[in-house]
Amino acid sequence: MTNKVWDLFDYVLTDLDGVVYEGKNAIEPAPRVLETLAGLGIPVGYVTNNSSRKASTIADQLKGFGVSAEPDDIIGSGQTGVELLSTLIPAGSRVMVVGGEGLRDWVVRGGFELVADSNAKPAAVIQGFSPDVSWRDLAEAAFAIQAGAKWVATNSDWTLPQEKGLAPGNGTLVSAVHTAVGQLPLVAGKPETPIFESAVRRFEAKYGRTKPLFIGDRIDTDITGANKAGLASVLVLTGVSTRKEVLGMRPEGRPRYIIGSMEELLGDYAYPIQTKHGYKSGSALVELKKNKVVVAAGDPKSIDALRAACAVIYTSPTPIYGLDVDPALYE
């Protein structure tokens, strides 16, 4: 069975880091693919856990890659975090921000008063990522939370893809505060549902569309979050998550679709088809022989082999730790 993935949906929501760009560089051919979808009348929205930059700055970066994006197309965890704050504290309350300019901008636009430290007795602390966050910022956040301030984190990503590799993400900074205060924040961004719900509300109101497809590169945030929010999910292997992670993923983090690059969104998708002893996807055949997952036909490094292997493993009554999986599928 083959057909184009996007044929089944009427708008696309996609992550940015690890899908569209990595730091300052575009991940080809993602910009061209997204422009192609937009040209076919499929609206595209961008759902990001990055709260440090303004939506206009992100839109300008996307335009620099040749993507037609407007600030209203960006759904960020900063905005969602402020929406969450508004359910916890009254309008006009004092809020301490740990994070970048984009997050401070959303707090002001949300009708709250910005304060610099715990001495101002903030009603809440909202914490997002910025490369400029210091030990003093984290300490002041901890002092405010211990004094009774509500605590919201824009996201809990442990890592952040950069040109040189993976860098510590907001989750590591949140963990530092958690260690000091002994409690956990409410999280607005992926994998929690508020950011997905905000994106769906915005795009359904703007375009009248009801069938979203979400694309991400991280199982722990993007795919798990989309599944939790009831959205069909696509995992693209251009960012953080690896083939090995996909093979061993628990049900809550399993994507509906797996692609090697964004280019594959434009072609036919080879759905795994059950055979006598396993599954076939495209030219690949993967079988379960006793407790061994073996590639019976095709290139084990191919995306077809990965899809077929996932189908075999996901439907097996034996848990992944009880299976002997051909290393060629993930090495």
Using one digit for the tens of pLDDT, what is the confidence trace for 112-124? 999 999 999 999 9
The residue-averaged pLDDT of 30-34 equals 97
Average of pLDDT values for 195-222?
A: 95
Considering the candidates 15, 217, 220, 222, report the single residue annotated as catalytic.
Answer: 15
157 is catalytic: no
Give me the chain's average pLDDT, please: 95
Give the contacts of 26 (CB within 8 A, at least 6 positions apart): 20, 65
Arithmetic mean of pLDDT, 63-91: 96
Annotated active-site residue 7? The verdict is: no
Q: Which fold would CATH assign to domain 78-187?
A: Rossmann fold (3.40.50)
Domains 1-49+190-267 and 78-187 alike in fold:
yes
Ranges of each domain in the chain: 1-49+190-267, 78-187, 272-331
74-78, 132-136, 160-164, range with the lowest pLDDT: 160-164
pLDDT value at residue 7? 86
The predicted-structure confidence for 276-286, as pLDDT tens digits, reads as follows 999 999 999 99
Region 53-59: mean pLDDT is 93
Reported as a pLDDT band with limits 50, 70 and 90, residue 231 is very high
Does position 194 have pLDDT exceeding 90, yes or no?
yes
SS3 content of the chain, % helix, strand, coil (to 5): 40, 25, 35
User: Of these residues, 17, 137, 217, 220, which one is catalytic?
Assistant: 17
Query: Region 9-36: what's the mean pLDDT?
Result: 96
Rounded CA gap, 250 and 116, in Å? 42
How much is the pLDDT for 5?
A: 87
Mean pLDDT of the region 222-243? 97
Per-residue pLDDT at 2 exceeds 70: no
For residue 310, how many other CB atoms are within 10 A of its CB? 24
Q: What is the pLDDT of residue 1?
A: 55
The CATH code of domain 1-49+190-267 reads 3.40.50.1000
Cα–Cα distance, 113 to 34 (Å, whole number)? 38
Output the six-digit token pair for 77: 């965890």
| C-alpha gyration radius of the chain | 21
How many Å apart are CA 270 and CA 133, to the nearest integer? Answer: 45
From the list 79, 224, 218, the residue with the least C-alpha distance to 160 is: 218
- Categorize the per-residue pLDDT at 261 as very low, low, confident or very high, splitting at 50, 70 and 90: very high
- pLDDT for residue 256: 97
Cis peptide before 191 (omega within 30 of 0): yes
